[in-house]
Amino acid sequence: MLRELIDLCGLAGISGFEYGISKHIQEIFGLHCEDTETDPAGNVIGIIGKGREKKILIEAHLDEIGLMVKSIDQNGFVSFVCVGGVNASVLPSAEVYIHGKERIYGVIGARPPHLQSEEESKNKYKIEDMYIDTGFSKDELEGLIQIGDPVSFACEPAALLGDKLSSKSIDNRAGVLCLINCMKRLKTKNTDCEIVFLAAVQEEVGLRGAKIGAYNINPDWAIIIDVTHAITPYTKDGDIAFELGSGAAVAVGPGMHPFITGKIMESAKNIPYSLEVTPGNSGTDAWAIQTTKSGIGCALVSIPLKYMHSQVETVCMSDINAVSDIICYAVEGGIC
């Protein structure tokens, strides 16, 4: 499973430019589902138990945050805009790939401390003041990259001690891995409903893919898988965060339907889980799916993740198992 997550995280698919990864994910879905589809937005859909009376959607977004080429200056330095909620503080020293005509490696530098005034050293970097350095001049970049090209982080996923992985885009490839875990297990079960797996695009830019996907699928119920914050030295009292390795976080609040959320908690058996209180917008696809068409009852199950929206997002593999298991138990137990 670690190998599968490393492979998923190694793929580049920033919001709006998911075609590379979506093809790969559709192939994996095809190994385990009766049928797979894509839709005009690029969402990837896998179906098990087609034609059963009721329908349940299990969803995770497949896109990742990234950057986009804004302009190229006279010396070949590439300025960029953010796609999704990029943390400007983690960009200096980042390694990136610009996905132009070819994939071009580049680095985001920083002003050396020797040259910084005391005041400068206290200021945070701003996106508009940072550049990607590819080594090439403007002329050499001509025809290779252009304005609008997507930029992804280039770091290699790395296993940490104690069953943990650190990488870019674990938000939400870990969720996609849960989808795959669930389909592997549920394909042999005779459940009471058709199960539709949706790997949705463009979550990071406003929950867009899920809205279209849920509209077309129009399920009776939906379970959304995403990541939530894990406790680190950077979390503060009052932050809603969970220990890495503590299992699944099951959301409660007005965005969640008590029936399906209750089913998940009831059928959890010995799977560890915590309650995540979401007073309003959970910031996940659940918020968009809930008000699709004439309303879809949603549950949200999340994987604790350290350092969200950085190149060193860190997850514990046992939490991915807990999320996959808790969902499978609920579906196997009968939801519809």
Which sequence positions are flagged as catalytic? Answer: 203
What count of other Cβ atoms lies within 10 Å of the Cβ of residue 202? 26
Q: How far is the CB of 220 from other proteins (least distance, A)?
A: 9
**Residues 308, 264, 324: CA angle, nearest 5 degrees:** 50
Across the strands, what pairs with 198? 45, 59
Q: Which CB, 106 or 255, lies closer to other proteins?
A: 255
Q: Which CB, 13 or 297, lies closer to other proteins?
A: 297
Helices (H), strands (E): how many in the chain? 9, 17
**Residues 21, 49, 32: CA angle, nearest 5 degrees:** 35
Of positions 14, 178, 180, 296, contacts other proteins by CB under 8 A = 296
Determine the interface stretch with other proteins among 13-21, 26-34, 96-104, 272-280 (rule: CB under 8 A). Answer: 272-280
Residue 277 near other proteins by CB under 8 A: yes
Determine the interface stretch with other proteins among 10-18, 109-117, 190-198, 273-281 (rule: CB under 8 A). Answer: 273-281
Determine the interface stretch with other proteins among 78-86, 225-233, 278-286, 307-315 (rule: CB under 8 A). Answer: 278-286
Residue 112 near other proteins by CB under 8 A: no
Determine the interface stretch with other proteins among 50-58, 117-125, 176-184, 271-279 (rule: CB under 8 A). Answer: 271-279
From residue 233 to residue 262, the character string flagging contacts with other proteins as x (rule: CB under 8 A) and all else as - is -----x-x-----------xxxx-x-----
Q: How far is the CB of 292 from other proteins (least distance, A)?
A: 8
Q: How far is the CB of 115 from other proteins (least distance, A)?
A: 39
Interacting residues of 224 by C-beta distance below 8 A, sequence separation 6+? 59, 60, 210, 284, 285, 286, 289, 298, 299, 300, 301
Q: What gap in Å lies between CA 157 and CA 305, rounded to an integer?
A: 15
Q: How far is the CB of 270 from other proteins (least distance, A)?
A: 21
Burial 208-228 (b: 16+ CB within 10 A, else e): bbbbbbbebbebbbbbbbbbb
Residue 265 near other proteins by CB under 8 A: no
Residues 165/158, Cβ–Cβ less than 8 Å? yes
From residue 201 to residue 240, the character string flagging contacts with other proteins as x (rule: CB under 8 A) and all else as - is -------------------------------------x-x
Residues 47/183, Cβ–Cβ less than 8 Å? no
Binding site for other proteins (CB under 8 A): 238, 240, 252-255, 257, 275, 277, 279-281, 290-297
